[in-house]
Amino acid sequence: MPQPVRVGTRASQLALTQTGHVADALTRLGAGPHELVRVRTDGDRLTGSLTSLGGTGVFVTALRDALLDGRCDVAVHSFKDLPTADADGLVVAAVPPREDPRDALCARDGLTLATLPVGASVGTGSPRRAAQLLAARPDLRVVDIRGNVDTRLARALGEAADLDAVVLARAGLARLGRLDAITDTLPTDVMTPAPAQGALAVEVRAEVIGSGSPLALALAALDDQGTRLAVLAERALLARLEAGCAAPVGAYGHLAEGTLTLSTVVLRPDGTERLLLDGSTPLTGDPVADAAEATALGERLAADLLADGAADLAGLGGPGA
Ligand SMILES: NCc1[nH]cc(CCC(=O)O)c1CC(=O)O
Residues 121 and 164 in one domain: yes
Residues 68 and 115 in one domain: no
Task: Kindly give the distance from the C-alpha atom of residue 212 to the centroid of ligand 1, in angstroms, as a whole number.
Answer: 32
DSSP string, 117-155: PTT-EEE-S-HHHHHHHHHH-TT-EEE---S-HHHHHHH
80 lines ligand 1 (CB under 6 A): yes
227 lines ligand 1 (CB under 6 A): no
Q: Report d(CA 197, CA 251) in Å as an integer.
A: 9
Nearest CA to ligand 1 atom 14: 169
Instruction: Summarize pLDDT for 165-189 with one digit per residue, the tens.
Output: 999 999 999 999 999 999 999 999 9
Pick the last residue of a domain from 223, 238, 271: 223
295 lines ligand 1 (CB under 6 A): no
Residues 73 and 212 in one domain: yes
Residues 180 and 296 in one domain: no
pLDDT band at 201 (very low <50, low <70, confident <90, very high): very high
- 190: in domain: no
- 76: in domain: yes
Helix (H) or strand (E) holding 38: strand 34-38
Query: Ligand 1 pocket test: which of 10, 12, 14, 77 has the largest number of ligand atoms within 8 Å of its C-beta?
Result: 14
Task: Kindly give the distance from the C-alpha atom of residue 196 to the centroid of ligand 1, in angstroms, as a whole number.
Answer: 10
Task: Kindly give the distance from the C-alpha atom of residue 263 to the centroid of ligand 1, in angstroms, as a whole number.
Answer: 20
Residues 164 and 245 in one domain: no
169 lines ligand 1 (CB under 6 A): yes
Residues 82 and 209 in one domain: yes
Q: What CATH number has the domain bearing residue 92?
A: 3.40.190.10
Give the total residue count for the chain.
Answer: 321
Dihedral pair phi/psi, residue 318, rounded to 5°: 85, 175
Task: Kindly give the distance from the C-alpha atom of residue 52 to the centroid of ligand 1, in angstroms, as a whole number.
Answer: 18
Residues 86 and 118 in one domain: no
- 194: in domain: no
Domain count, the chain: 3
Task: Kindly give the distance from the C-alpha atom of residue 238 to the centroid of ligand 1, in angstroms, as a whole number.
Answer: 17
With a cut of 50, say whether residue 54 has pLDDT above it. Answer: no
Q: Which pLDDT belongs to residue 52?
A: 44
Nearest CA to ligand 1 atom 7: 172
Pick the last residue of a domain from 129, 156, 185: 185
Pick the last residue of a domain from 136, 161, 185: 185
78 lines ligand 1 (CB under 6 A): yes
Mean pLDDT of 224-244: 95
230 lines ligand 1 (CB under 6 A): no
Closest C-alpha to 188, from 175, 205, 169: 169
How much of the chain exceeds pLDDT 90, in percent?
Answer: 86
Residues 248 and 294 in one domain: yes
pLDDT band at 43 (very low <50, low <70, confident <90, very high): low
Domain that holds residue 298: 225-314
Q: Which pLDDT belongs to residue 86?
A: 85
Task: Kindly give the distance from the C-alpha atom of residue 173 to the centroid of ligand 1, in angstroms, as a whole number.
Answer: 9
- 38: in domain: yes
Closest C-alpha to 67, from 41, 43, 96, 89: 89
Residues 173 and 308 in one domain: no
Residues 12 and 40 in one domain: yes
123 lines ligand 1 (CB under 6 A): no
Mean pLDDT of 75-94: 94
- 191: in domain: no
Q: What CATH number has the domain bearing residue 277?
A: 3.30.160.40
Q: Which pLDDT belongs to residue 1?
A: 63
- 288: in domain: yes
Task: Kindly give the distance from the C-alpha atom of residue 78 to the centroid of ligand 1, in angstroms, as a whole number.
Answer: 7
Query: Ligand 1 pocket test: which of 9, 124, 197, 238 has the largest number of ligand atoms within 8 Å of its C-beta?
Result: 197
Residues noted as catalytic: 81
Mean pLDDT of 220-236: 98
With a cut of 60, say whether residue 100 has pLDDT above it. Answer: yes
- 5: in domain: yes
> Which range, of 134-143, 278-287, 309-318, averages the lowest pLDDT?
309-318
- 267: in domain: yes
Residues 21 and 91 in one domain: yes
Q: Are 262 and 231 within 8 A, CB to CB? A: no
> Which range, of 21-25, 159-163, 188-192, 316-320, averages the lowest pLDDT?
316-320
84 lines ligand 1 (CB under 6 A): no
Residues 234 and 286 in one domain: yes
With a cut of 60, say whether residue 55 has pLDDT above it. Answer: no
pTM of the model: 0.93
Question: What atom of ligand 1 comes closest to residue 194's alpha carbon?
Answer: 11
